[in-house]
């Protein structure tokens, strides 16, 4: 199974990052059919997500987003396009660096 790891630095602080993570969750559930489970923490939040052929973890702290994604066999053929779309989506949500 192909694994994707996408990291983005930010200057939003933890509260701002949580807002962006919430918008990402809404998009993941509505647009991509993901089931998401949010795990808040004191200095870092985790969001597990999955659907048929895809599972992953989004970790958010005051300085960074770290998205780890595992693609199943069928979606593995589209790994480059999926990674490109996710990078673009995260960049749009985070705004200019």
Q: Domain containing 72 — which CATH number?
A: 3.30.160
Would 55 be classed as within a structural domain? yes
Evaluate if pTM is beyond 0.95: no
DSSP sequence for the chain: --EEEEEEE-SSHHHHHHHHHHHHHHHHHHHH--EEEEE--SSEEEEEEEETTEEEEEEEESSEEEEEEEE-HHHHTTHHHHHHHHHHHHHHHH---
CA distance 93 to 89: 6
pLDDT per residue rounded down to tens, the chain (97 residues):
579 999 999 999 999 999 999 999 999 999 999 999 999 999 999 999 999 999 999 999 999 999 999 999 889 999 999 999 999 988 898 876 5
Residue 26 domain-assigned? yes
Q: What is the pLDDT of residue 1?
A: 54
Decide if 97 is inside a domain. Answer: no
Give the domain range for residue 63.
Answer: 3-92
């Amino acid at each position: 199974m192909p694994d994707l790891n996408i990291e983005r630095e930010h200057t939003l602080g933890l509260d701002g990052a949580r807002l962006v993570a919430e918008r990402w969750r809404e998009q993941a559930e509505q647009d991509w059919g993901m089931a998401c489970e949010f795990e808040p923490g004191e200095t870092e939040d985790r969001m597990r997500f999955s659907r048929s052929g895809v599972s992953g973890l989004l970790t958010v702290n005051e300085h960074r987003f770290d998205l780890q994604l595992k693609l199943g066999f069928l979606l593995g053929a589209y790994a480059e396009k999926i990674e490109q779309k996710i990078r673009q989506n995260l960049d749009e949500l985070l705004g200019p660096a």
